[in-house]
Amino acid sequence: MNTPDEEEGCAGCKAASTPKWRQDFPIEWEGDHYVTRREMVKFLTLGSLLLASANWATVVASRLLHRGSHVERYIGSTAALEKAGSMLFRYPTDRDPCIAVRTPAGKLVAYSQLCTHLSCAVVYAAAENGLFCPCHHGLFNLAGQPIAGPPTRPLPRVQLEQRGDQLFAVGMEAL
């Protein structure tokens, strides 16, 4: 068994025989990809920063999408609506289908035609006195509220203005 002095001397010999470049760069090639716990904590904190930023980006995106619309657009005549019971139109752009209905109480209402479940087109169902989604049998009442099926959110309402025989869409509330 070696004495402590002999062991220390041997270690000293080993250090002396190690080249200077090895002392400056003590990491082996195989150990190059080894990540210490400290580096991992730094990396995860950076990831945490990115994730928090992405979360706030969704808030900003929602503000941009949540603006609603206040474009004025002619949608048809009241005579056409009375004849068919309901009327389809596009508002605020040609890509946004909407539906106008005269309620049994005589009130004129209009909503986006896109079901709030999976965006199928709702149709007027006089028998149910509501707006029916044929894809998954969702049903909205004429106040736009979901009353049956998978939808849980109301239909966005379109504000209408009647000028004589003409109907205009003048605004749409945001989703």
Partner 1 sequence: MSLRQQGTTLFSAMLAFVGAAVVLQLWLLTVSMEALLSGAYKTLIPAAIGSSVLLLVNAGLLRYVLRFDRDAHGE
38 binds partner 1 (CB under 8 A): yes
Cα angle: 158, vertex 152, 132; to 5 degrees: 65
> Is 45 among the residues that bind partner 1 (CB under 8 A)?
yes
Check residue 48 for interaction with partner 1 (CB under 8 A). Answer: yes
CA distance 140 to 115: 9
CB of 124 to partner 1, least distance (A): 23
- Report the distance separating Cα 12 and Cα 3, nearest Å: 14
Stretch that binds partner 1, among 57-65, 71-79, 85-93, 98-106 (CB under 8 A): 57-65
Q: Residue 66 catalytic?
A: no
Least distance to partner 1, CB of residue 35, Å: 11
Is 117 an active-site residue? yes
Place of tokens 């062991």: 7
Residue matched to tokens 């991992």: 40
Q: DSSP readout, 130-161?
A: EEEETTTTEEEETTS-EEESS--SPPPEEEEE
Q: Does 145 sit near partner 1 (CB under 8 A)?
A: no
Q: Which residues are catalytic?
A: 117, 136
Task: Point out which residues bind partner 1 (CB under 8 A).
Answer: 37-38, 40-42, 44-45, 47-49, 51-52, 54-56, 58-59, 61-62, 65-66, 116, 153, 175
